[in-house]
Structure 1
């Protein structure tokens, strides 16, 4: 038959449809059984075209059938209403409105996902160890100013970090011109909120940062199994403090103390301070600045990470004698660790679905590639099972890819599209990729993949001595990464070191980076006594530390800031 000026072959059972839809004359001799009218001949022909083609425009069908675009558009509208055909912009390039058969689109999507999975060969684990710090901007320090710091906070949202490492190791490694004033500017403006997530030894504790709008979703709900939560600090004084800060109240310490005295009775500054900090570490209270945290860390007690001490602020009281006789009594100074305005943290989101959605988005943003180990390392509520459905939906919608990207980490790996190319770039030979900086990180820093996404490396065989200590992601410990490999692990306090290589070409850059971190004031004084279970002076690591500037002492090797 001739259709649209072309000779076409037709299945005989379509004779009636072609006659009724296109007005074509049928050849003589077609049996009457094949010429009976059907309900929607035009819809049948357009639907068949859709089933046998990918995304198309109405003009394509009109040209094929020799009809006007308006006629085809009406048929497509009927098919769209029944769900047989889907409407949208399916192909890149913005060519305009398109249609596609629903089943054909599902097939295209399945095959596209399969092709993307085959496209990515798994890379070795050391490529991931180089990729994660690079993804988070650690070492490169490419971000600057308040806007750069806000981007860093977004990436670190919800993850507990040791307070003693936050402004000495974690934030300065990401923001080139970091200073305390930058973070205070964000907290004072209400853009960033912080709170505690558990106490540590001494005056240290876990601190959580988050953009204010994200805080209710990513800040951890009270965990009855963990010490330092609000349930553990529910005494009368603590209840009075929380009652004084209800209704979005924000009070300076003296105003808070006066309200507490009115309901609870007189309490000393030390008692109120202890109760406030118990509530802070329990995640119940916050402040509009981190100055109280800095003051608490510098109050003399030992913290997880050594810090360069800050000079105390002097008080001159120059105008203390100018008050009018009989006027108001002089204002009593607040305790050093009680500065700023105190307020209650916002209520946590109770919907587990919304929390899982936020957790999955934050994890993808933080790591670029999410594995079961990285989720377990952050102690996400509900574990990997809670975020897996969200990650799977992100894959189906095209916002993330699933594949076997890193060798040895299982098949349940999800990555942002842009992260896959950067990960593969880190797997190139050393002479074909950008050199990775040697990094000194807190062991709990999300940029450290070891002990979470990756297992700790195996130690070289010890000669006549047992290592004793084992590496772990704990507050106060440090790791030194050289080209993505974990070369040195520094125990809390710095007295014991573990090395994961005997090669001096790896040990010396690691020792140099450790010495530089001490000189820059990020670590304070470092006194090393043992390495790999043996005295430091008899270890190959000791030679590397001496070459880096450590000085022998009767107890080992020492370097001061």
Structure 2
């Protein structure tokens, strides 16, 4: 080969591609510096003139993959010179040598792009965020490798948790509230050895108002647990073994029995399951709880279900050497002080409420020109047989158009029957559009559907139903497909309303007006459930009266004017149920029983006369003979001042 001489310099060296010495194979060179092998994406390149790099800017070797997304180096197949070399070729001659990616051949890695839970962020080398100063090196290393910086809600929550007080985090959906509460608990579990007594191993109790949310949280905890474990191994620290368990109505009986003797480090449960555990021998597995996390506390605080949960938490504190720390997670709520009083009425609560930057794209769509032509009200079931104008065919067609125009969609309905019927109609319309053939069997509009809610039509094409009557296995399958983006649409009731992290969902459709402003914000918040993302929602009213309500609710959702929440005061039916459960396993002094009940926020002002009247009723002392058929539930020894459960009751 004849070497060409440059003007006033030594001859230019011919371009040579590096050849791997360690790899074994046919020995053919590839532009990436690897030898050809049968396995892997790099195939052998014949040693011909075609292996010489082309002056084109596109890679002449389609079998060589492009450089990874996190790499900022110039690809080996690029023939374009850097700007400095083009400006001064006598200073920086281009030799065609392959540039190794950062992190290889001794070059220090400067930056990285990591993908965690579907969120792609960039981390630059430097000091960690000040909010991470209280974490162990393994936890701090995992977080800085997964995210660029904590959100305002996370930084405020970690500061308040580090002070040792009860914490209430109020932030919109998609702001990282759940990770804010769990990461501090995970760091504590990973950095301290488990107790010697296996029954006291459960130190973190997470209470979720929905079973679907509990399953989603258990799934999302796998990433930080695995990351902290790998980071500990890399740093040479002891490898933590943190176990997570679920106790809900879907938990098999064998797993429920195992919780009594081998509880996990983190127990995820629901208010009803917590009540059952405290009323059985399984309560011994809760005697080591140090932290209680209440998720979506705004959804239960204003109901009797929340009152029931408040008394269960006070019963839990009675089992512990000292009251457990409570961390409440809530979406935007008003007034915040009322939720803080519900969370911890006896101790100071640190409220973390950063400014909300969540954006919503809301619209109300009427698929017909005039709703007055439809009679002004929804069609009634079981009519006289005459065909009446209905808005449902138009709504179903428009929803199908929206589903097919987006990646993943959640369609919310206000009843299970409507959810099942609408899901079936969406699949039928998609089937007819795909095949050009209509189904033979007759199908009426969605609201005219009767019977048990089951419908026989086209197989599942674009939508599946999700509500409380669906089996556990089917719900888990639907949630997994929706989370991964494999399912175009899910028609659900409120079962997917709270806190579910469905990163692939980019649209929420609400059929009928939302039940409330807070519920509407929660439902639309399932779309764009990432930090800084925009949540898009479309509301379809059914008739003229529903249009007015949908317009008002949507306008209040835009302005954030949610309804005021009030904690119920002294619901005696809930008190009676809890008193029967408290005395079923233990004998209580009447004064101690009243003091425990009054520690719960809903019963802080309970009169002693009302408490005594409830005990009289449970003990069989009724005001008249009309209650004589009721069986007494407790035994009240008025001389000794004790209350215990009645045997056989």
State the TM bucket, normalised to the shorter chain: under 0.3
Normalised TM-score (structure 2): 0.23
TM-score (norm 1): 0.25
Bigger relative contact order, structure 1 or 2 (CA pairs below 8 A, ≥6 apart) = 1
